[in-house]
Homo-oligomer: A and B are copies of this chain.
Amino acid sequence: MIQVSVQQDPIDPASVIEQVGHEQDGAVLLFVGVVRNHADGRSVTGMRYESFREMAVDVLEAIAGEAALHLGTDRIAVVHRIGELRIGDASVAIAVSSPHRGEAFEAARYVIEEVKKRLPVWKKEHYEDGSDEWVAGAVPPADGLLGGDG
């Protein structure tokens, strides 16, 4: 029941929830990352997300699989958007369904933290003055796909 996607299409949070929703579960958690209109004090007008798409899909599956293994819930959906995003657009959505709320919180948190550490995705911020810049990111660990100690 792990579903991941790296897509150009806009993210519909409701449909990401639907991917994990099930009547046997008691808690559903949804995390949505949204493009902000400022960064480090500069006004941002938009953002371009790029990915190494085939690898990003593998890494998302690995991350979700780790969350499932460690935290006892296998109902996880992760969608990351790529392409040109506007302020307020969802860049990532993570949905987790679990019998217990603690697991749902931990699984969603694990997924977003690992995404930021090792998903091969980059973003270029567009600023009000017309310039743009690749966002300084995180150096992924060389054993990234196998995960750290989570």
Contact = CB atoms under 8 A, between A and B. Distances in A.
Interface stretch (A18-26, A58-66, A124-132): A18-26
B27 A34 contact: yes
Given A14-B13, A88-B23, A101 B31 contact: yes
B23 A87 contact: yes
B26 A34 contact: yes
Nearest to A27: B33
Contacts of A119: none
A109 interface: yes
Copy number in the complex reads 2
Nearest to A90: B28
A149 to B, nearest CB: 20
A27 B32 contact: yes
A108 B36 CA distance: 20
Interface of A: 13-14, 17, 21-38, 87-88, 99, 101, 104-105, 108-109, 112
